[in-house]
Amino acid sequence: MYLDSCILVKLFVREADSEFFGKLTDGQVLSSSMLAYTEVWSALLAKERAGMITAEYRRRAWAAFQHNVDGETIALAPLSPALFRRAHRLLEQCHPQAPLRSLDALHLATCDQLQEWPFCTTDQRLLAAARLLGFPLATEG
């Protein structure tokens, strides 16, 4: 199962749908892009700035995420020149129906390269592009 960064954050910070995604991912092989390493950190800092979590909570959430990455419970795929070329192709395939941001295209390209289905996100741009590309999605049959 491929998780984008927004889903990874839900596994370490309590959000309205965290329980749902916790159950969905329980016992699954989890993968994401190395992009998630910085994206999760950024999201945790943003939540702290917004007053949604404390600095101590952020440190604990980051330590838990890091523990899962180090223990390979969550595998983060490295970025490569081939992955960037794949992302370019996906950007063009989705254009103009599903406009993608560059990092979103890299997440989709990583999932496509790994073939770690289903793709799991709540980001509407990513969902639209994944549907257009015919990716199996976690929350759709």
140 band by pLDDT with thresholds 50, 70 and 90: low
Name the residue ranges covered by the structural domains of the chain.
2-133
Q: What is the pLDDT of residue 66?
A: 98
Buried residues in 65-93 as b, exposed as e (16+ CB within 10 A): beebbeeeebebbeeeeebeebbeebbee
**Mean per-residue pLDDT, 60-88:** 98
CATH code for 2-133?
3.40.50.1010
pTM of the entire predicted model:
0.95
139 band by pLDDT with thresholds 50, 70 and 90: confident
